[in-house]
Amino acid sequence: MREITFAQACNEALRHELQRDSSVFMIGEDIAHYGGMFRVTDGLMAEFGEDRIIDTPISESGFLGMALGAALAGKRPVAELMFIDFSLVAMDQILNNIAKTHYMSGGAAKVPLTIVTQGGGYKGAAAQHSQMLEALFLHVPGIKVVTPSTPADAKGLLSASIRDDNPVLFIEHKQLLNLKGHVPEGEHLVPLGSAHVIQPGTDVTVLTYSYTVQLCRNVVQELSSFGVSVELVDLRSLNPLDWDTISQSVTKTHRVLIVHESHKRCGVGVDLAAQIQEQLFDELDAPIGICSAADVPIPFAAGLESEVLPTESRIRKAILEVMGREV
Amino acid sequence: MREITFAQACNEALRHELQRDSSVFMIGEDIAHYGGMFRVTDGLMAEFGEDRIIDTPISESGFLGMALGAALAGKRPVAELMFIDFSLVAMDQILNNIAKTHYMSGGAAKVPLTIVTQGGGYKGAAAQHSQMLEALFLHVPGIKVVTPSTPADAKGLLSASIRDDNPVLFIEHKQLLNLKGHVPEGEHLVPLGSAHVIQPGTDVTVLTYSYTVQLCRNVVQELSSFGVSVELVDLRSLNPLDWDTISQSVTKTHRVLIVHESHKRCGVGVDLAAQIQEQLFDELDAPIGICSAADVPIPFAAGLESEVLPTESRIRKAILEVMGREV
Amino acid sequence: MESPSAESFLRQMATLQALERELTTLSQSGRLRGSLHLAQGQEAVPAGACAALQPSDYLTATYRGHGYVLAKGCSLDGVLAEILGKATGLACGKGGKMHLFDLSHGLLGTNGIVGAGVGSVVGAALTAKMDRNGRVGLTVFGDGAINQGHVHEAMNMAALYQLPVIFLCENNLYAEMTPLHRSHGNVNLLERASSYGMDAIQVDGNDPFKVYEVVKKAVDLGRSGGGPTFIEALTYRTVGHYQADAGTSYRTLEEIEEWRQNSPIKRLSARIGPDAEKIIDEADELVHEAVERALGSPDPDPATALQGVFA
Amino acid sequence: MESPSAESFLRQMATLQALERELTTLSQSGRLRGSLHLAQGQEAVPAGACAALQPSDYLTATYRGHGYVLAKGCSLDGVLAEILGKATGLACGKGGKMHLFDLSHGLLGTNGIVGAGVGSVVGAALTAKMDRNGRVGLTVFGDGAINQGHVHEAMNMAALYQLPVIFLCENNLYAEMTPLHRSHGNVNLLERASSYGMDAIQVDGNDPFKVYEVVKKAVDLGRSGGGPTFIEALTYRTVGHYQADAGTSYRTLEEIEEWRQNSPIKRLSARIGPDAEKIIDEADELVHEAVERALGSPDPDPATALQGVFA
Ligand SMILES: Cc1ncc(C[n+]2csc(CCOP(=O)(O)OP(=O)(O)O)c2C)c(N)n1
Ligand SMILES: Cc1ncc(C[n+]2csc(CCOP(=O)(O)OP(=O)(O)O)c2C)c(N)n1
Ligand SMILES: [Mg+2]
Ligand SMILES: [Mg+2]
C-alpha cells in the first residue's frame, strides 16, 4: 500500500466525503483559496468550488454558529478550527448550543457537524497554541471526540465522523500531520468507539491516544527487549469509548497506565482511572498510573516544555512504576 | 450569632473588601443600579459609587478582558458572571488569558481577579441555565475554584478570594442563595484550600461541595440512625485542594464516595477518585463511588431533572453501595 | 403575499397575550417551573414579522420568543405542553420554555444565551443560498444582545456572503434592567448594523402593519439575492424582565403607563372597533382550552431523561 | 511632546528590521522555536505610535508585536532572550515570542489569540480614569482581528465609559492569506469603529510622522477625558504571514514589489539622505551584539517549568 502523510490522509477523507454526499461542505479560516494552514484542505476549492469550501473571517463563534444552523437545515458541515486553543472563543456555540441541541429538542433536531481541529505541543508554540483540550469536550455531554494517531486511522475516522449524525470533534495532532503511513485508497471507514490493540501483552495495559501513541510505541518496543510485556491500546475515540477493549485488557494484565498529553486534573487519565477502579476494582494489582502533562500552562523554552509534557523516558518510568519495579 | 442568607453573606464580604481596600472594584451586568440579579450586590453602588460598582453591556468576554487589564494595572477587580453557563462566551479570556498570564509572564504579572458566579440546577432552568462547570476551570491550570455551601463559608471564602493574588472563580449555587445561617459580623476569613469535616465518622468518607453538601447532610443524619457512621467532608475549594484532610479521612474509613452535581466524565469525582487510588491504593477496601449528574444535558421537566441530578435517595444508595451493603 | 387583515393580526397578538396571562397564573401557582420572560407590549413585532415569512423560512428567537414560535405556525398545543414540561411538548419536556424547536416550521430554536441563536440563522440562510431554494432566515434579538460578540461576527458574515437574513432587533429600551444609554457607546443601532454593509431601517414595532411591511421588503430582498437587512423595531415591554421583576425599580410608572396606553393591542383594537373584543375573547378561550389540554397531558417517562444525547 | 526626529524614527525602525533579519536566520537554523510572525514593511506604525506614548501608558499587542514592545522602551536584551527561550528573558523563557510582558513599561502582554489583548487595555484605561492619573492605553491589532467578537465588545465599552484608549488597527490588507474583501461585509473599517461612538481616522501607516501625529492627537484626547479613538494605519507586510509562508501564493509579485518600493524604511532613508545608512548599520550592529548576548545567556532551570502557576 502507498504511504501518505496524516494531513494527506485527512485530505483524502474530506475529498471522498465531499464527492460522495453533496450535503457535505466545509467552512473555516484560510481553508479554501489557500488550502488550509496545514494543507489539510489543499485542492478542495479547486475541485468543489467556493460554494462548498468556504473561507471565513476570523470569527470562530460566528462560523460555528453558522455550521450549526446549516446542520439543522439539512447539511453536513465540516468546520475547521485552525488550533484547538481557538475553540475557547467559540465555546458557547460548541458546548451550550451544538452539543445540547439534539437533546434539548427532544430528538427532533439532528446536528451532523464535524469540527476538524489541530492541537498539541512539543513544537515551542507556547501556552496558547499547544493545548490538547479534549477533556473540556468530554465533560459537557453531546459531542463525540475523535483522536487518531496514524494516517490510516485519520482517514477512516474522519470519514466516519462526517457520516455520523452527531457533532464530532476531530483532533489532529501537530506532531502527526507530517507522519507517513500506509493508507487504503478509496473508501475507508474506522467506526467511532473502536479502540485498537496495537500490541498485545500480559504484564501491563497502556491506554493512550493521539500523538502519545507514537511515544508509547517506542517505549513499549524497548521494554519488550527487557522482557516487559505491555499491551498497548490506542483508544482512537474518547467518546464513544471502547469500554469492552479496555476491560478485557485490564482483566488480563491487572495493571494500567494511562498516557496523555493534556493536563491531569479533570482530564482523560483520571476519567479512565476512576471508571476502571469503579468497574474492575478486584482486578487491579496496583494503583492505576497516569502519565500526563503537568498542571501548568505549556511553557515556550524547549527545556521547559519537555519538563511539562510526557516524554519517552517519563512514560517508561511510569510503566515500571505501575509494575512495581525499581525505576 | 445573627442569621443571614448566603446572598447577604456574599454582600457583606463584598462590602467589607470594598471598604478595606480601595483597589477593589466590581464589574458586571445589572450589578450597580439594580443591585444584582440575585441581590448579591444590593446597595453597593449607593455606598461606593458608580465608579467602583460598574454596570456593563451584555459583553462577558469584553468585561472579563477589562477585569484582566485592570488587575494588571494594579486593581483587584471582582467581576460578576450572572450564570456560570455564560462563562462559555468568555472562555478565551478566562482560560487562555486570565488563567495563563501569571505563568506566561514568568511571574512578572499578577492577576488578583475574582469572578463571582452562580450555577447549578434543581430549579427547572433547563440545559443552558443549570450547569455546574467547575471541572472546565480545574482542567486548565491557573485559576482557583471555590465552592462554598453555607452562608458563613461564603462570606469567609469570598473575602479570602478577593485578597488572593490570583484569579479565583467563586461559585454560588442558586439553591443556596436564600439559605440562612449564622455568619460572623465584621472581618471573617476562611482560607482557600481548607476542607471542613462537617461530621466525623468511621465507616465511609463522603467528599462533596456546594449545594450537594446540604443533600448529603440530610442523608448522613438519617443513616446515622441506622448505625452507619459517615465522615462528611465539605471540600469548600477544589483548587487548591485540601489533600491532607482527604487522605486522613480515607486512611481512617477506607471507603469513599464523592458526590457532586456536575457531570461525571472528566469531572471532579473522577479527578478525586483517581488521585485517591493513586496515592492510597492499599487503604481502599472497596471501589470509590461517584454520585454525580448523569452525562446528559440538564432537562427541563421536574421529573426528568430529578432523574439526572443527585438526589438524597441516590446519594443514600451510593453510600450503601460503597459500604457493600444491600441497597 | 398580501398583508394580513387587522383582525388576523389582532388574533395573533391576542393569542400571545392570552398565553402570557395563563403562564403568569401557572407560574404564580407553582405549576410552571423556572423563569418566565414575558413579551407584553411587544406583541406586534412577532405578529407583523412572521406574517411575512413562509413556513419553510428559518427562524431563531430568544427566551422571550414564544410569540414568534406561535406566529411562525408551530402548534399551540406542542408549545404549551413543552412550556409545561409534558411528554407531548415540542421537545418531549426536555427543552422547556427557553428551548423550543420545530424544524417542520423552520424553527431552529429559541435560546437561553443572549445572542447565541443569531449565527444559526445565518448558517441556515447560507444553505438556502447554496441550494437556491428561495428561503430566508429571520433571527430576533434584543437591543442588549447587539453588544454580544457573536452577533457582530454573524452580522458581518451575513453581509459578506450576501445571505438572505433578516436581523430583527427588538429595541424595548432595556436589557434586563439596563437602559441603552448605559450599555451602548452609541445608541444609534442602525449605524452599527449598516457599518457591516447592509441596509438598516427603523420601524414602529407597535404597529404590526408597519413591521410586516419592512420585514416583507427585507424578505423580498433576501429571496432575490440582495443580502441581509437589519430592522430595529421600537417597542416596549410593559411588564418586568421576568416573573420576579416588577419592572418598576428602573423605569418610571409614567413611562410604563404611557407605553401601556400605546400598546399594540390597544391601538389595533381601537382601529378595529367593537369586533376586537370578540377576537380577544376567542383567543382567550382558545388558549385557555389549550392550557387545560396541556395540563392534562402526560408527564414524560423519567427514563427518557437519560436517553437521546446522541442521535 | 515633540515629534521625534527622522533619525530617531529610522533608528527605531531599523532596529526592528535588524531584529527580524536576525530572527529569520535563527529560525532557519533551528535555533529559534515555533512560528515567527514578521512585521517587515510595517515598521513605521510601531515607531510612530509608541513615540506618542509615555512609559507609564499601557500597551497590548499581537504575535506580530515585538516592534511595539521595543518602541515602548522594553529592553532589547530582555525581549531577545525571551524570544530565544532564555532564563534572562522578560518571562524567564516561559512566555516566548507571542507572550511578552513588561509591566514596568506598561506592556500588558502580546497575545497569540487574535483580538484577545484588546479588552485588557480597555480595562487598564478604566483604572487610569478611576485614578485620574492621565495614563492612556494603546492596543494594536490587525484588519482581520476586527472580525472577532471580543474586539467589538471592547470597543463598545471603551466608547460607553469614555475611556482613554487608542485602538490602532494595522490594515495590512490581509489576515493571514485572506484579503479584506473576502472577510468584511464592508471594507470601510472607519464606519464600523465610529458606529460605536468614537472618532475614527485613517492614516498612512508607512509614514512614522503621520502615525505619530494622529496617535498623539488621540493620546491628548484620551488624557483630557475625551474618550477613545480608532486609527486605521494603512500598511503592508512585505513578507509572508509567518516563516513558513512565502507570502506569494495569495498576492501578486507586482503588489509586493510596489509596497517594497514604498517601504517605510526606504522612504525615510531617502528623506534623511546619506546619514541613513550609518543609522541602519548601527542598528544592525546593536542588534547583532544583543543576539550574541542572548544566545550566550543561560537556559532556564528545567525545575522552574513546574513552578509559578500561582503567585
Ligand atoms: C450571554 C448571556 N449573558 C447574560 C444573560 C442574562 N440575560 C438574559 S436576558 C438579558 C437581557 C437581554 O436584553 P435584550 O437583548 O435587550 O433583550 P430583551 O430581554 O430586552 O428582550 C440578559 C442580560 C444571558 N442569558 N446570556
Ligand atoms: C481566535 C484566533 N483565530 C485564529 C487565529 C490564527 N491567526 C493568527 S494570525 C491570524 C491573522 C490575523 O490577521 P490580522 O488581524 O489582519 O493581523 P496580521 O496578522 O495581518 O497582522 C490568524 C487567523 C488566532 N491566532 N486566533
Ligand atoms: Mg431589550
Ligand atoms: Mg492583517
Ligand nearest to the CA of C63: 1
Is A124 inside any structural domain?
A: yes
- Region for B165 from its dihedrals, namely left if φ exceeds 0, alpha if ψ lies in -120 to 50, beta otherwise: alpha
Is B189 inside any structural domain?
A: no
Please indicate whether, in this complex, the C-beta atoms of B288 and A277 are within 8 angstroms of each other.
yes
Ligand nearest to the CA of A117: 2
Is B190 inside any structural domain?
A: no
pLDDT band at D152 (very low <50, low <70, confident <90, very high): very high
Q: Which of D148, D156, D185 is facing C147, going by the closest CB pair?
A: D156
Question: What is the C-alpha to C-alpha distance for residues D151 and B91, in angstroms, rounded to an integer?
Answer: 15
3 state DSSP class of C104: helix
Say which amino acid occupies B158: L
Q: What average pLDDT is seen over chain C?
A: 97
Which pLDDT tens digit goes with each residue over B183-202? 999 999 999 999 999 999 99
Q: At residue C160, does pLDDT exceed 70?
A: yes
**Is B91 in contact with B60 (CB distance < 8 Å)?**
no
Nearest to A43, CA basis, from A10, A75, A21, A66: A10
**In a shared domain, residues A40 and A146:** yes
Q: At residue A326, does pLDDT exceed 90?
A: no
Chains in contact with C via at least 3 Cβ–Cβ pairs below 8 Å:
A, B, D
Average pLDDT over residues D177-203: 98
Give the length of chain C.
311
D144 and chain A: CB distance < 8 Å anywhere? Answer: yes
Ion ligand 4 contact residues with beta carbon within 5 A: D 142-144, 172, 175
Average pLDDT over residues A98-114: 98
CATH number where A69 lies: 3.40.50.970
Of A152, A182, A212, the domain-final residue? A182
Using CA atoms in the order A292, A294, A297, A298, what is the torsion angle rounded to 10 degrees?
-60
Nearest to A78, CA basis, from A66, A91, A62: A66
Q: At residue A312, does pLDDT exceed 80?
A: yes
Nearest to C306, CA basis, from D78, B304, B108: B304
Q: What average pLDDT is seen over chain D?
A: 97
Nearest to A112, CA basis, from A51, A161, A48: A161
Radius of gyration of chain C (CA): 19
Q: At residue B325, does pLDDT exceed 90?
A: no
Question: What is the C-alpha to C-alpha distance for residues A80 and D198, in angstroms, rounded to an integer?
Answer: 35
Question: What is the C-alpha to C-alpha distance for residues A299 and A292, in angstroms, rounded to an integer?
Answer: 15
Q: At residue D1, does pLDDT exceed 80?
A: no
pLDDT band at D232 (very low <50, low <70, confident <90, very high): very high
Is A190 inside any structural domain?
A: no
- CA–centroid distance, D141 to ligand 2, in Å, is 9
Is B187 inside any structural domain?
A: no
Q: What average pLDDT is seen over chain A?
A: 98
> For position D292, what pLDDT does the model report?
98
- Nearest residue in chain B measured CA to CA from A256: B278
**In a shared domain, residues A215 and A301:** yes
**In a shared domain, residues B7 and B156:** yes
**In a shared domain, residues B24 and B92:** yes
Residue % of chain B over a pLDDT of 90: 99
pLDDT band at A1 (very low <50, low <70, confident <90, very high): confident
**In a shared domain, residues A16 and A63:** yes
- Burial class of residue D244 (count of CB atoms within 10 Å of its CB; 0-12, 13-18, 19+): exposed
Please indicate whether, in this complex, the C-beta atoms of B77 and D123 are within 8 angstroms of each other.
yes
Residue % of chain C over a pLDDT of 90: 99
**Is A145 in contact with A169 (CB distance < 8 Å)?**
yes
Q: At residue B326, does pLDDT exceed 80?
A: no
Q: Is the CB of D145 under 6 A from ligand 2?
A: yes
Which pLDDT tens digit goes with each residue over C125-141? 999 999 999 999 999 99
Neighbours of D277 (CB within 10 A): 12
> For position D58, what pLDDT does the model report?
98
Q: At residue D276, does pLDDT exceed 90?
A: yes
Question: What is the C-alpha to C-alpha distance for residues B21 and B75, in angstroms, rounded to an integer?
Answer: 10
**In a shared domain, residues B217 and B284:** yes
CATH number where A292 lies: 3.40.50.920
Is B191 inside any structural domain?
A: no
Say which amino acid occupies D244: A
Pocket of ligand 1 (CB under 6 A): B 29, 58, 60, 82, 86, 89; C 64, 112-114, 141-145, 170, 172, 174-176
Which pLDDT tens digit goes with each residue over A136-173? 999 999 999 999 999 999 999 999 999 999 999 999 99
CA-based nearest distance C282→chain B, Å: 30
Residue % of chain C over a pLDDT of 70: 100
**In a shared domain, residues A216 and A275:** yes
Q: At residue D136, does pLDDT exceed 80?
A: yes
D308 and chain A: CB distance < 8 Å anywhere? Answer: yes
> For position A122, what pLDDT does the model report?
98
Residue % of chain D over a pLDDT of 90: 99
Question: In chain C, what are the domains?
Answer: 6-25+36-296 (3.40.50.970)
> For position B327, what pLDDT does the model report?
59
Partners of D99 on chain B (C-beta within 8 Å) are: 104-105
How are beta strands A53-55 and A76-81 bridged, if at all? unpaired
Range of the domain at B207: 196-323
C158 and chain D: CB distance < 8 Å anywhere? Answer: yes
**In a shared domain, residues A175 and A233:** no
Which pLDDT tens digit goes with each residue over A43-53? 999 999 999 99
Using CA atoms in the order C212, C217, C220, C221, what is the torsion angle rounded to 10 degrees?
-140
Which pLDDT tens digit goes with each residue over D8-21? 999 999 999 999 99
Interface test with B, best of C23, C31, C84, C113 (most B CBs within 10 A): C113
Of B136, B157, B182, the domain-final residue? B182
Average pLDDT over residues A114-128: 98
Please indicate whether, in this complex, the C-beta atoms of D128 and B102 are within 8 angstroms of each other.
no
pLDDT band at A327 (very low <50, low <70, confident <90, very high): low
Report residue A149 as a C-alpha cell: 494517531
Nearest to B126, CA basis, from B313, B268, B265, B304: B304
Q: Which of B57, B300, B306 is facing C95, going by the closest CB pair?
A: B300
**In a shared domain, residues A24 and A173:** yes
Question: What is the C-alpha to C-alpha distance for residues C63 and B300, in angstroms, rounded to an integer?
Answer: 14
Partners of B56 on chain C (C-beta within 8 Å) are: 183
DSSP string, C231-244: EEEE---SS-SSTT
**In a shared domain, residues A26 and A163:** yes
3 state DSSP class of A230: strand
> For position D2, what pLDDT does the model report?
85
Q: Is the CB of D109 under 6 A from ligand 2?
A: no
**Is D114 in contact with D148 (CB distance < 8 Å)?**
yes
Is B232 inside any structural domain?
A: yes
Using the atom order of ligand 1, give the atom closest to the CA of residue C175.
Answer: 13
Sheet holding D199-204, edge to edge: D107-111, D58-62, D137-142, D165-171, D229-234, D199-204
Report residue C216 as a C-alpha cell: 416583507
Is B256 inside any structural domain?
A: yes
Question: What is the C-alpha to C-alpha distance for residues B166 and B77, in angstroms, rounded to an integer?
Answer: 11
Q: At residue C1, does pLDDT exceed 90?
A: no
- Burial class of residue B111 (count of CB atoms within 10 Å of its CB; 0-12, 13-18, 19+): buried
Which pLDDT tens digit goes with each residue over B213-245? 999 999 999 999 999 999 999 999 999 999 999
Question: What is the C-alpha to C-alpha distance for residues A144 and C30, in angstroms, rounded to an integer?
Answer: 38
Of A182, A214, A230, the domain-final residue? A182
Which pLDDT tens digit goes with each residue over C48-59? 999 999 999 999
**In a shared domain, residues A176 and A238:** no
Phi, psi dihedrals of residue B67, rounded to the nearest 5°: -60, -40
pLDDT band at C69 (very low <50, low <70, confident <90, very high): very high
Sheet holding A237-239, edge to edge: A53-55, A24-28, A76-81, A114-119, A168-173, A144-146, A237-239
- CA–centroid distance, C177 to ligand 1, in Å, is 10
Please indicate whether, in this complex, the C-beta atoms of B57 and C250 are within 8 angstroms of each other.
no
**In a shared domain, residues A14 and A57:** yes
Using CA atoms in the order C83, C88, C90, C96, what is the torsion angle rounded to 10 degrees?
30
How many domains does chain B divide into?
Answer: 2
Phi, psi dihedrals of residue D106, rounded to the nearest 5°: 75, 5
CA-based nearest distance D90→chain A, Å: 12
Neighbour-count burial for A30-69, b at 16+ CB within 10 Å, e otherwise: bbbbbbbbbbbbbebbeebeeebbbbbbbbbbbbbbbbbb
Partners of A287 on chain B (C-beta within 8 Å) are: 277-279, 281
Residue % of chain B over a pLDDT of 70: 99
Report residue D84 as a C-alpha cell: 530565544
Pocket test for ligand 1, best of C45, C176, C187 (most atoms within 8 A of CB): C176
Question: What is the C-alpha to C-alpha distance for residues B115 and B63, in angstroms, rounded to an integer?
Answer: 11
Identify the bridge partners of residue D59 per DSSP, sorted by sequence position.
D107, D138
- CA–centroid distance, D144 to ligand 2, in Å, is 6
Average pLDDT over residues B1-26: 97
Question: What is the C-alpha to C-alpha distance for residues C252 and C64, in angstroms, rounded to an integer?
Answer: 23
